[in-house]
Amino acid sequence: MQSSIFDLTGKRALVVGGAGEIGYAIAEALLEFGASVMLVDKDPDTLIKAKDLNRKWTNCFGCIVDISDRDQIDESIRQTVMLLKGSVEILVNAAGIQRRHSSEIFPDLEWDEIISVNLTSVFLYSKKVSQEMISHGYGKIINVSSIMSQFGGINIPAYTASKGGVAQLTKAMSNDLAAKGIRINAISPGYINTNMNKALLQDSDRTAKILNRTPIGRWGTPSDLKGVSVFLASSASDFLTGTVIPVDGGYSGM
């Protein structure tokens, strides 16, 4: 029996980017603590991953969505309410893509793509889902930013701009919605061992520099984000809003 302060039994969660490694790990954690979950992702394996989770915990569904398409965002929210049999109480914005080019040659179309997926979708999902949350006077929104919201990075101007935007959007929306019962916070992952960072992991010089600056002495894993996600989704964080929590092995403290 889970401690009541972290218990999510009966809560309905929408995880945007739920088929990605970080989103999937967060969905696992929410399911483990009792929530029903809808995975939303462009990945064609979204439905398969939802079925895999459903076999273990039940009450997990999937919806394939291009979150750069506003009509599809609206439809995914409708599908979520229908399948979860009620309004969303926990929204996780975990979608993210990456492209690497030096700033002076960064392609305009790739800039637009990253801003649309990494930042605009966060605003649109938060805006639309929070409208229903307000009517019930309760809701938890968890955005996945990045420690690149604090640092410039190398060859990732669009990603850095988008994740910096997510951090600031978290603060702005929390100011607007806190009095209406909505708590909005962000997780700021450090260097996490995912497919997005595959090229970086293969760069021995960069990897050595990252590890030398990380007091814990290793790269993070998607599972390292589970605990903080449950905390932010549960009543344990009811007096917390507008924060950006680094989960980076101590990297940003150096």
Question: What are the backbone dihedrals phi and psi of residue 153, each rounded to the nearest 5 degrees, phi first?
Answer: 70, 180
Single-letter amino acid code for the residue at 242: G
Q: Beta-carbon neighbour count of residue 254 at 10 Å?
A: 10
Would you say 93 and 137 are in contact if contact means Cβ atoms under 8 Å apart? no
Which residue, 153, 149, 238, is CA-closest to 188? Answer: 149
Place of tokens 């609206």: 74
Would you say 178 and 242 are in contact if contact means Cβ atoms under 8 Å apart? yes
**Calpha distance 80→90 (Å, rounded):** 12
Which string of b and e fits 130-140 if b means at least 16 CB within 10 Å?
beebeeeebbb
Name the active-site residue from 24, 125, 159, 191: 159
Would you say 206 and 188 are in contact if contact means Cβ atoms under 8 Å apart? no
DSSP state of 188: E
- 61 beta partners: 38
187: Cβ–Cβ under 8 A, 6 or more apart, which residues?
Answer: 142, 143, 144, 145, 225, 228, 229, 232, 244, 245, 247
251 given a catalytic annotation: no
Q: Would you please indicate which residues are annotated as catalytic (active-site) residues? A: 159
